[in-house]
Amino acid sequence: MKLTCIHKDLAQLTFLGISNCYLVRESDGFTLVDCTISGQAAKIIQSAQELGGSIRRILLTHAHLDHIGSLDQLHAQLGPVDVAISQREAPFLHKDLSLRPDEPQHKPKGSFPGAKTRPTHTLTDGELFGSLRCIFTPGHTPGHFCFLDERDGTLFAGDALMSVGGLHLVTAPPWYFPLPKGGTWDCPLADASAKRLLDYKPKSIATGHGRFITNGLQALARLVG
């Protein structure tokens, strides 16, 4: 695991060199954005402690394996913490991959291992969770959400975008890291969601895969503008 302190209120935790989760400092401790791959709970908890706080809530961008892998282990070790996922994605957390009549009717891609943990909150578009604004960004999965920290303009993009070798659309990854596209359910929706993120004018972008992007708005505008 690699721990990168972006600034005093934000740390990036990277596993196997490619899978990120984030510790976002709030007034009462940390919000953990995504739970990376399985078996990493102890390292995540230790990282929060080393940074001077405890994890108070867990926020999930979507229910793929590399974003919920350590959820059950974290929940067991942390005790009663808030766990939130989008209202649309919540069934996927428990392996119900049913599609709604108004959605594209092709099977969701990628691994949805499910979890025993039940969310305490199901989120809707525009809702505020802690300091993070919830943004509905379907495409990679039907219920994918991004989160904007309104204090400093950091966008937690999950797999709506990726930043391996620079910022990329998840539908157009670099040739040497094709996995996010392979796990994307609906590419036109994913591209439309990425374009919508311009409306939020992110100052920086934290993705599920790749480095932290400091020139967020400029990089995103070049990509989708």
Separation of alpha carbons 159 and 209, rounded Å: 7
- The predicted pLDDT at position 1 comes to 96
| Mean pLDDT, rounded, of the chain | 97
Decide if pLDDT at 37 tops 90. yes
Residue 225 has pLDDT above 90, yes or no: no
In the Cβ-directed half-sphere of 165, how many Cα atoms lie within 13 Å?
10
Cα→Cα distances 55→31, 49, 71, 80, 176, Å: 6, 9, 12, 10, 34
Cβ 225 vs Cβ 167: under 8 Å: no
What CA–CA distance (Å, rounded) separates 108 from 185? 5
Q: Please name each of the domains of the chain with its CATH number.
A: 2-224 (3.60.15.10)
Q: Which of 136, 141, 138, 137 is nearest to 107 (CA)?
A: 141
Between the CA atoms of 202, 121, 18 and 177, what dihedral angle is there, to the nearest 10 degrees?
A: -80
Cα–Cα distance for residue pair 56/82, rounded to 1 Å: 7
C-alpha radius of gyration, the chain, whole number: 16
Structure tokens at 167: 């910022």
Retrieve residue 52's tokens.
């001077």
- What type of residue sits at position 53? G
Tens of pLDDT, residue by residue over 93-113, are: 999 999 999 999 999 999 999
Cβ proximity of 34 and 60 under 8 Å: yes
DSSP structural state of residue 172: S
Residues above pLDDT 70, as percent of the chain: 100
* Exposed e or buried b per residue across 87-97, where buried means at least 16 C-beta atoms within 10 angstroms of its C-beta: bbbbbbbeeee
DSSP state of 167: -
Identify the residue with better confidence: 41 or 225: 41
DSSP reduced 3-state for 33: strand
